[in-house]
Amino acid sequence: MWQARNDNMDTTKYTLLELTGMIGKTISDSFPGRYWVIAEINEIRENVSGHCYLELIEKDPDADSILARARATVWAYTWRLLKPYFETSTSQNLGKGIMILVEVTIEFHELYGLSLNIKDIDPVYTLGDLERRRAETIRQLEEEGIINMNKALPFPVIPSRIAVISSPLAAGYEDFIDQIRNNPGKYRIDTTLFPALMQGNGAGKSVTDALDKVFEKENMFDLVVILRGGGSAGDLNCFNTYEIAAHIAQFPLPVVTGIGHERDHTIAGMVAHTDLKTPTAAAEFLLGKFQELDQKIGTLGNRLTSEVSRILEQNKQMIINTLNNFPLILNNSLIQKGRQLKSTGSILARSANTFLQQNRHKIISNHSRFRFIIKNCFLRMKGRMEEVSTNNLPGRTRELIRKRGDRLLLYETTVGLVDPVNIIRKGYTLVLKDGRIIKNAKDIATEDVLETKFHDGRIKSKVLNINININNL
């Protein structure tokens, strides 16, 4: 330290090392002991030397903005004890976003500034904070009335088109696909993978983005399956967030979750339509739907077969009984019909006799009138024959034959005028091809051999050129 004096005032000047030393001494004197501090881990990294360096923050619970920030250090010898103790007690990994309660000493170093040196950690606080956050998320879902929305959706009878959200490299996904594709029932199930991160800081957004992509193709799928294999409880924390839970709860297709192990139960699984503990269990559940349908169809088939057999047996017995009783039934029917015919014949005979008696006078009267009409008809025909005979029938016949002969002579003359022989003698010719008369130039082709017939002879010629008169077409 050195002092300088000027004309206005005395000023004491310090080197930076001196000032930081004074600050360090003041902090050491003011905060001599250990303090339990509640904070959220914003960053954490483990050095190759074994030391762990953290950035601790406190956020405004309303605005989610950072109110305070401090560096913290866990020296290697302490880290080797605290890390397994915390993870064993909480089943959580120390990572970003975890709330912790740690015992610290406050240190100030001339080169590195203020830092908190972590000496101990209370895992009970972290467990309580996780449960508090979990309870708050569930309460919010219940207050918004969406916690059971996905469960209310009807499950497809045949879940054959499945959208799968998982990491493509996860062993759980491979197990699921292997069971689906190689199912013993040979059921045809189509799966489409929508890749997503299933742990870490970006897992929540990655899963919700995948759900949004499935929503865009909603009509192509029957349901959604979200798969993630085992891991620590900390690895599954993203499936306890409101963001993922709200997406699943309000999704328009049934969601089946296969997340974690038997001991794990996430909020995502709680709001899903069906929550299975593992990807393998999810595959078995879906295949079970097909097996249930097979069993129902088999049961219905057996009932149908039994009912048809019963009806056939019943009708068979009826037919046998009918065949056995048929001769008796037929005989009784014939006897009955014979009696009916005999009775009807008697009635008909009586009716006919009665009719004849009632109409006898009419019949006799009509018979007399009929004979009179026939006699008159013969008399008229005889008169006409006599009239024809007196009117010179032979002469009229000869006149008719003469007139018919004159008409035939006229027809003969007309036919002679159009006879081809007579037409040729007048200077005309006939053109034939293969013995047939050619009437149109279009029926002739070049190189055809034609025969021309005159009244006194015939010639043959070959066609060299054809000119067709279009106006005559």
CATH number, residue 262:
3.40.50.280
User: Within this chain, do residues 13 and 123 fall inside the same structural domain, yes or no?
Assistant: yes
User: Within this chain, do residues 59 and 196 fall inside the same structural domain, yes or no?
Assistant: no
- Give rounded-to-5 percent helix, strand, coil for the chain: 55, 20, 25
* Helix (H) or strand (E) segment spanning residue 68: strand 66-74
User: Within this chain, do residues 8 and 46 fall inside the same structural domain, yes or no?
Assistant: yes
Does some domain include residue 381? no
Does some domain include residue 467? yes
pLDDT for residue 235:
62
User: Within this chain, do residues 287 and 149 fall inside the same structural domain, yes or no?
Assistant: yes
Provide mean pLDDT across the span 331-355.
78
Confidence check: pLDDT of 2 > 50: no
Is the C-alpha dihedral spanning 251, 255, 260, 263 positive or negative? positive
User: Within this chain, do residues 126 and 16 fall inside the same structural domain, yes or no?
Assistant: yes
Residues with Cβ < 8 Å from 116, sequence gap 6 or more?
37, 56, 70, 71, 72, 73, 102, 104, 105, 106, 107
User: Within this chain, do residues 97 and 155 fall inside the same structural domain, yes or no?
Assistant: no
User: Within this chain, do residues 33 and 120 fall inside the same structural domain, yes or no?
Assistant: yes
User: Within this chain, do residues 129 and 149 fall inside the same structural domain, yes or no?
Assistant: no
pLDDT for residue 6:
52
Count how many residues are written for the chain. Answer: 473
Looking at 49-58, 164-173, 298-307, which range is the least confident one? 298-307
Q: Structurally, how many domains does the chain consist of? A: 3
How far apart (Å, rounded) are the C-alpha atoms in residues 471 and 473? 6
User: Within this chain, do residues 110 and 224 fall inside the same structural domain, yes or no?
Assistant: no
pLDDT for residue 172:
86
pLDDT for residue 14:
86
pLDDT confidence tier of residue 192, bands split at 50, 70 and 90: very high
Give φ, ψ of 95 to 5 degrees.
-155, 180
pLDDT confidence tier of residue 277, bands split at 50, 70 and 90: confident
User: Within this chain, do residues 128 and 159 fall inside the same structural domain, yes or no?
Assistant: no
Provide mean pLDDT across the span 37-58.
91
Does some domain include residue 317? no
Does some domain include residue 286? yes
Confidence check: pLDDT of 264 > 60: no
Range of the domain at 48: 2-133
Q: Considering 291, 309, 338, which residue would you say is the last residue of a domain?
A: 291
pLDDT for residue 234:
58
For the beta sheet containing 430-433, the strands, ordered from the edge strand earlier in sequence to the opposite edge, are 436-437, 430-433, 449-453, 458-462
Query: Which range is most confident: 192-206, 228-242, 316-330, 350-364?
Result: 192-206
User: Within this chain, do residues 67 and 180 fall inside the same structural domain, yes or no?
Assistant: no
pLDDT for residue 29:
83
Does some domain include residue 170? yes
Q: Which residue has the higher pLDDT, 463 or 206?
A: 206
Q: Considering 95, 114, 133, which residue would you say is the last residue of a domain?
A: 133
Amino acid symbol at 178: D
CATH number, residue 124:
2.40.50.140
Q: Considering 105, 133, 161, which residue would you say is the last residue of a domain?
A: 133
Q: Which residue has the higher pLDDT, 406 or 268?
A: 268
pTM recorded for the entire structure: 0.51
Q: What is the pLDDT of residues 75-101, one digit of tens each?
A: 999 999 999 998 888 777 888 888 889
Confidence check: pLDDT of 261 > 60: no
User: Within this chain, do residues 17 and 112 fall inside the same structural domain, yes or no?
Assistant: yes
- The share of the chain scoring above pLDDT 90, in percent, equals 23
pLDDT for residue 386:
66
pLDDT for residue 211:
94
Does some domain include residue 103? yes
pLDDT for residue 251:
94
Does some domain include residue 18? yes
Mean pLDDT estimate for the chain = 82
Does some domain include residue 322? no
